[in-house]
Amino acid sequence: MKVIEGNLSLKGDEKIAIINARFNHIITDRLVEGAKDAFIRHGGDEENLDLILVPGAYEIPLF
């Protein structure tokens, strides 16, 4: 099996926003934790990470 893997390299000053729907929070909360963990593991600063909560997937494009 051929595995293709990317490499993320952050300088630490990038600003990232995670948009999360509160609907189905049992699943989406774990996805947010995974995204936060990946951002920090690759050199991101937690101070530059924002979390935006919306009621459902329909409202995500509005942000």
| Residue of 18, 21, 22, 28 whose CA lies nearest to 50 | 18
Q: Quick check: pTM over 0.75? A: no
Which residues are bridge partners to 19 per DSSP? 52
| Consecutive H or E run containing 47 | none
Contact 53, 39 (CB under 8 A): no
Compute φ and ψ for 18, nearest 5 degrees.
Answer: -110, 125
Give, for all 63 residues of the chain, the pLDDT tens digit. 999 887 777 787 889 899 998 888 899 899 999 999 988 888 888 899 999 998 887 777 766
| Residue of 48, 39, 50, 45 whose CA lies nearest to 8 | 39
Specify the pLDDT at position 63.
62
Specify the pLDDT at position 13.
84
